[in-house]
Structure 1
């Protein structure tokens, strides 16, 4: 491996960093559009559907997300391999088909077990999940090679097109039917669109082969096991609440959790697709993995911390103005989960670093522990009703963060709090934002600070005005404090300098275009 001082490596690293920056910007821009569209879809469907409909749909969406996650894990091995051949592509596609068939058989034979939950609608969804298992499996493995080559525009287009399809169909059918089937049909259409898109952009002849099964299976077993256990530990609160407290509470938790993750994990999930290919490329060509790991943590927290805390501060306004009075119960969900979900996003950086190092077994052990812990914790929490379940979910999220930091000691600064302390300016700026927004709230009156002063729709214009003031003050306080701290410590290389460089590039392109 060449040393970083080699001019050729510097040039290569610069080009690589530029490619990652372009990819990250592309995915972030498309993600902002999709999440805005997703928020609109959520608002409209929440006004047209009942909490029970969201509770039923939650089970279906958890199952489809699980199937997508499993298929994604099979294909990720193509990013890590030093050399990808046609036989590797055929083997991965074969694994996808086998997994799809196994999943379809699983949903078919478990229909009698679904009857034990005494939710008849779930039995109706079983045949659809069988078909979806095969539809999701029919994705072109060659499509993943775009990410390997740091060409993320294709992934951005895949996510955007499927989101547009889902939103149009979900809103239209919710207006026509007014029940959970609108979400089900929209999800199916979106997944079919994804499969068609991958083959149209990365066509390949459908042939089955197991010639490279050792290369693919050795990596995929631990990664799939780790992701399966993490998936269920993340979704177990939703499933247990629905099974014990009822579909209405499950719908409230689903919507509150969805809004909390909308500005954290959901918003930056496509952006985090850059992390694994980017770190893998850096690992193959340089010895700057630790520096890249630290920079990614700093960048991620600089964005998600103020957004998540800001959302918690104005959660009552968001719910009343955007969704409606009938959903006020989700405010407490946002208050507890939004800040914690922001710190949970660090896991994606840790997971990518572990994949590259080959330490997938550690992730599997950690995630299995979390799954058992969450199940036991939620079982006790639901005994105290919805509030107890919510506290249990928050505690589970906190333990998730602590275990993430334990694994993160292997990378970056090699310290327990290293992933957090690299973004200390973001934490200080966020605290300043919180204090200023609370001060502004107190100036409006104690009732507004508590958040329950509005009881009629006649108060909505005033509420919208105060909501806008709080958001504006919060944004200006966070950005101003961040750059002030950066200037006071000598303007080191960090998220502030990256932001200024990006603004300069955008301005330069606009001037050139004119």
Structure 2
């Protein structure tokens, strides 16, 4: 692969990492503190509201934010249309949510969620009031302002929630923190932005924007189901306590993988786009990036599975019984899923974004049916089913890259063979060490297992020392 392109990509990912670090470092610290103060049921009650509010966003936004970002003319008039449309829809959806809260709560077997839905639902209106400012900053590539907004709004909710939780208000600590974060975002964006709405509405322009936005909404609806359908089914069948365990464990796993891999993803599309017309270079690029991701993600996922018990006890405490299996199984699930994590960026760079959408759509129905079958049998069965269904999507991705890029799965397996061998030996060794240190303090056991796992896996990377050296050189080279 062309060194200069890859060098620029890795350099850019360092700046992306700096942009992510505010929320990715602050959030885990707050997460651990709050989890020790609250219970799985508290998180489950609020998770019901999070599911519903995230679903409602698809409808009050109706894709107009994206439509505004891509708009080349009549930007001011378009912003005005988007603002009033989003605000009216936001208020309407909140009113519907307020009066349907009892029915929604009964669906999730959580009567405590009724007042939470009605209070936290105010977040819908607050978000609709600042959607235009966010879109305009994105359109103008003014990510510096959005960075500071993100820094403030990632810190304030947690800092507000902690004292409320200490005072014993339970799940209201999470509700209060969330609303404060939304209000802070609204105030900061309105203070920073010079744009203000006018009392006018262009219906012809609205029809144009909605014509684009409705397609974005359809894609957003599909993405929502893909992200939330598992939590929705867990909550509906197993209730708020198991939903709290599932969402909290899943959130922790997402934070881990987000911290180590997310900074790379925004760069990949740009990198692959620059070499989209050179199939050989694109093929080599995907193999290199996939190998790098596998080297990070797979041992991380296996490691989470093996150290989940002491990790959960050290971080969350004794009241979170059952969360260890969530962290472990979902950790392995994410570690394996990331093996094809770069594929979607390649599809988009090739001018075929439809490929990933089609894969998502075709697998979603199977996922949903599998989840509905598994949930009544308990959280453990559901988690293993969640792991099992990823082996439906991965072969589809492998088929697509073989068809369009002529990359055989065997090419990838051979290229990454020392990673797979190292993961196998690491898993066996850490499992034995875990049994041998069973009666030690959790923090001691956790430390020994992590250090041993890293050292053993690193030994099997010696045949890959040139590849590792190249990556380290690119990552540490001055920007």
Q: What is the TM-score normalised by the length of structure 2?
A: 0.81
Deviations for 1:246-301, whole angstroms, at most 9, x for unmatched residues? 2222222222222222222576556644555x369748999987776666545544
Q: For residues 115 and 33 of structure 1, do their structure 2 counterparts lie closer, same or farther at Cα, with a shift above 3 Å needed? A: closer
What residue number does 2:161 align with? 170
What residue number does 2:453 align with? 474
Among 319, 324, 333, the residue aligned to 2:312: 319
Q: Secondary structure at the residue paired with 1:326?
A: coil
Q: For residues 428 and 32 of structure 1, do their structure 2 counterparts lie closer, same or farther at Cα, with a shift above 3 Å needed? A: farther
Q: Secondary structure at the residue paired with 1:191?
A: helix
What residue number does 1:511 align with? none
Q: For residues 332 and 139 of structure 1, do their structure 2 counterparts lie closer, same or farther at Cα, with a shift above 3 Å needed? A: same
Q: How does 1:119-138 map to 2 (within 5 A)?
A: 119-138=110-129
Q: For residues 99 and 370 of structure 1, do their structure 2 counterparts lie closer, same or farther at Cα, with a shift above 3 Å needed? A: farther
> Residues of 1 paired with 2:102 and 2:388: CA distance?
34
Contact 2:229-2:368 within 8 A present in 1 as well: yes
Structure of higher RCO (CA pairs closer than 8 Å, 6+ residues apart)? 2
> Residues of 1 paired with 2:74 and 2:447: CA distance?
51
Paired residues, what number?
Answer: 474
Q: Give the superposition deviation at 1:381.
A: 1.0
Q: How does 1:13-32 map to 2 (within 5 A)?
A: 18=8, 21=10, 23-32=12-21
Among 245, 248, 268, the residue aligned to 1:252: 245
Q: Secondary structure at the residue paired with 1:204?
A: coil
> Residues of 2 paired with 1:39 and 1:394: CA distance?
24
What residue number does 1:227 align with? 220
Is residue 2:418 matched to residue 1:428?
A: yes
> Residues of 1 paired with 2:470 and 2:455: CA distance?
18
Contact 2:425-2:457 within 8 A present in 1 as well: no
RMSD: 4.1
Contact 1:140-1:203 within 8 A present in 2 as well: no
Is residue 2:446 matched to residue 1:502?
A: no
What residue number does 1:191 align with? 182
Contact 1:257-1:334 within 8 A present in 2 as well: yes
Q: Give the superposition deviation at 1:349.
A: 4.5
Ranges in structure 2 where 5+ consecutive residues have no aligned partner = none
Q: Give the superposition deviation at 1:78.
A: 5.5
Q: For residues 437 and 243 of structure 1, do their structure 2 counterparts lie closer, same or farther at Cα, with a shift above 3 Å needed? A: closer
> Residues of 1 paired with 2:252 and 2:373: CA distance?
25
Is residue 2:41 matched to residue 1:52?
A: yes
Q: Give the superposition deviation at 1:165.
A: 0.9
Q: Give the superposition deviation at 1:338.
A: 1.2
Q: How does 1:96-135 map to 2 (within 5 A)?
A: 96-97=86-87, 99-114=89-104, 116-117=106-107, 118-135=109-126
Contact 2:62-2:210 within 8 A present in 1 as well: no
> Residues of 2 paired with 1:429 and 1:180: CA distance?
43
> Residues of 1 paired with 2:465 and 2:74: CA distance?
44
Q: For residues 155 and 405 of structure 1, do their structure 2 counterparts lie closer, same or farther at Cα, with a shift above 3 Å needed? A: farther
